[in-house]
Amino acid sequence: MRRLGKVLHVTRSGDLIARSDFAPRIGSRVYGPDLRAIGTVADVFGPVAAPYVAIRPSIDDPSRLVGQVVYVGRPRRWRRG
């Protein structure tokens, strides 16, 4: 597990935006400060040196994570149907 960055805000569509020092893989699991899964990386955009990361939350109240540090784990594996 690696420190992803601090959550800046929640978008109108409900995604969390975080600032990072690296570009994680899309689909990677994201964990909150208590190390419980909170969602997945949906998009990476902005400057290469310090990209922004859009996180698709899987929790009920993502606004409680604003200002908190989040972490990233391994990408989800695709399963055959």
pLDDT the model gives residue 63: 94
CATH architecture, domain defined by 2-74: Beta Barrel (2.40)
What is the percentage of the chain residues whose pLDDT exceeds 70?
90
**What is the pTM assigned to this prediction?**
0.88
Where exactly are the structural domains of the chain? 2-74
pLDDT per residue as tens digits for the range 2-29: 999 999 999 999 999 999 999 999 999 9
80 DSSP β-pair partners: none
Tokens describing residue 74: 């391994």
Residue 48's Cβ-side half-sphere holds a number of Cα atoms within 13 Å equal to: 0
Q: So what's the pLDDT on residue 77?
A: 64
